[in-house]
């Protein structure tokens, strides 16, 4: 875990300030994992322990996975890298013109396909849930979730087995109770998801 945090720091992927997250929450830290993923060797190293734990659980019959899927944009590279390390196909869901998550580009996820969802960062699990809803709507079964950075609030539950490369405590607040807003510090939104106005 400390090695992954060191990789994030070396890559300039762990930022401090006042950030508006894709979930709509505010935080004092932001993880720009694209900075980590621009170095393929670092992406491989960051996810190697996750892949090893998943591989062990598959071998022990605790988990079954046929493919890896990630919600665009942040889940594309982790899905690919975990798929590569596990020897599984990888694909992604993305937002359509209405902003709804969908499966496009000829990717398929039919009945019975067991899917591991991969993300860069998990805060609330909202993107993972949207990705899962699309895949399960097509008959697939989500069997686990993996990510590079787990920054969930302590005790926040997820409906699947969860594999994280590292856990980092980072403050996050609802907009109305943000301590940084109260201090007049402007928020920046470095992520790719548009938030409702």
Task: Give the pLDDT of residue 19.
Answer: 92
CA distance 31 to 91: 22
> With contact defined as beta carbons under 8 Å apart, do 70 and 79 qualify?
yes
CATH number of 47-170: 3.40.50.2020
CA distance 4 to 194: 28
State both tokens at 186.
């402007």
Q: What percentage of the chain carries pLDDT values higher than 70?
A: 95
Task: Give the pLDDT of residue 1.
Answer: 65
**What sign for the dihedral angle of Cα 97, 193, 129, 110?**
positive
Which residues neighbour 55 within 8 Å (Cβ) at sequence distance 6 or greater?
Answer: 86
Where do the domains of the chain lie? 47-170
Task: Give the pLDDT of residue 194.
Answer: 57
Count H helices and E strands in the chain, helices first.
Answer: 6, 9
66 burial class (0-12, 13-18, 19+ CB within 10 angstroms)? middle
pLDDT tens digits, 92-102: 999 999 989 99
pLDDT tens digits, 30-80: 999 999 999 999 999 999 999 999 999 999 999 999 999 999 999 999 999
**pLDDT of 197 higher than 60:** no
> With contact defined as beta carbons under 8 Å apart, do 20 and 188 qualify?
yes
**pLDDT of 155 higher than 70:** no
Count CA within 13 A, CB hemisphere, residue 3: 11
pLDDT tens digits, 187-196: 998 865 555 4
């Amino acid at each position: 875990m400390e090695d992954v945090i060191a990789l994030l720091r070396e890559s300039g992927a762990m930022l401090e300030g006042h950030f508006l997250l894709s979930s709509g929450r505010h935080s004092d830290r932001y993880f720009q994992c694209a900075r980590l993923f621009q170095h393929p060797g670092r992406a491989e190293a960051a996810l190697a322990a996750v892949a090893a734990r998943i591989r062990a659980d598959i071998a022990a019959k605790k988990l079954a996975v046929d493919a890896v899927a990630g919600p665009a944009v942040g889940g594309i590279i982790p899905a690919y890298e975990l798929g590569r390390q596990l020897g599984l196909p990888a694909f992604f869901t993305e937002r359509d013109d209405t902003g709804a998550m969908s499966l496009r580009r000829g990717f398929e996820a039919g009945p019975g396909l067991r899917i591991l969802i991969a993300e860069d960062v998990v805060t609330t699990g909202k993107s993972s849930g949207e990705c899962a809803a699309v895949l399960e709507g097509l008959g697939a079964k989500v069997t686990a979730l993996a990510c590079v950075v787990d920054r969930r609030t302590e005790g926040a539950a997820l409906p699947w087995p969860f594999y994280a490369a590292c856990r980092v405590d980072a403050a996050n607040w609802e907009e109305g109770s943000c301590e940084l807003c109260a201090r007049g510090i402007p928020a920046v939104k470095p992520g790719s998801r548009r938030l409702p106005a």
